[in-house]
Amino acid sequence: MVRFDVSSLVKAQPGTLLTLDIDAGPEHLTDLEVDFLKGTIRVTRVQGGLLVQGIVQSQLRQECVRCLEPVEIPITLELEETFRLGGGAPKPGTPCAVSEGGWLDLTPLLREQSWLAIPMKPLCSPNCQGLCPQCGANLNLESCTCEKTHIDPRLAALKELL
């Protein structure tokens, strides 16, 4: 959990500012594991809430879609969200709220932004050779002797006749 005691800010006048340093990790953001979270967050007391702004550097691991090797993916999370004050259970659609005790829990926000930052098709390198579809060899590490070109079954039949 990435959370901070902001009770002093909750009691402060609108316009009051607090700077929080984040240096955590590895961290489980509910269902997403990140290697680290590093950044600076600015929290401003606004009417009825706290405005959270900042940039957090992070890194997570995915599988390369071609060779299935683990890939470290650096991500940058840009945060800008108003956390509601007033405590109570978070209402659906407004998950960002400061708890009654004055705790600011950034986990849901960081999780959401991390999911958005994951590339659709992670690659270990732009020219990853992937796996051989026939023998499964990792073509980045080894070459295999499989036929490289896919032969049309009709052409193969023709080839046998020749």
Binding site for Zn ion (CB under 5 A): 64, 66-67, 124, 128, 132, 134-135, 137, 144, 146
CB of 17 to Zn ion, least distance (A): 44
Residue 16 half-sphere exposure toward CB, CA atoms < 13 A: 13
**Secondary structure (DSSP) of 134-161:** TT--BTTT----S-SSPPPHHHHHHHHH
CA 42 – CA 20 distance, rounded (Å): 6
In the complex with Zn ion, the residue whose CB is nearer, 86 or 136, is 136
The dihedrals phi and psi of 134, each to the nearest 5 degrees, come to -95, -50
As a whole number of angstroms, the distance between CA 158 and CA 13 comes to: 84
Nearer to Zn ion, 53 or 138 (CB): 138
Report the residue number, 22 or 71, with the smaller CB distance to Zn ion: 71
Which residue from 33, 41, 117, 32 is spatially nearest to 74, judged by alpha carbons? 117
C-beta of 146: minimal distance to Zn ion in Å? 3
In the complex, minimum distance from the CB of residue 119 to Zn ion, in angstroms, rounded to a whole number: 13
Peptide bond connecting 26 to the previous residue in cis, omega within 30 degrees of 0? yes
What minimum distance in Å lies between the beta carbon of 124 and Zn ion? 3
Residue 146 vs 151, nearer CB to Zn ion: 146
Shortest distance (Å) from residue 121 CB to Zn ion: 10
Name the residue nearer to Zn ion (CB basis): 94 or 134. 134
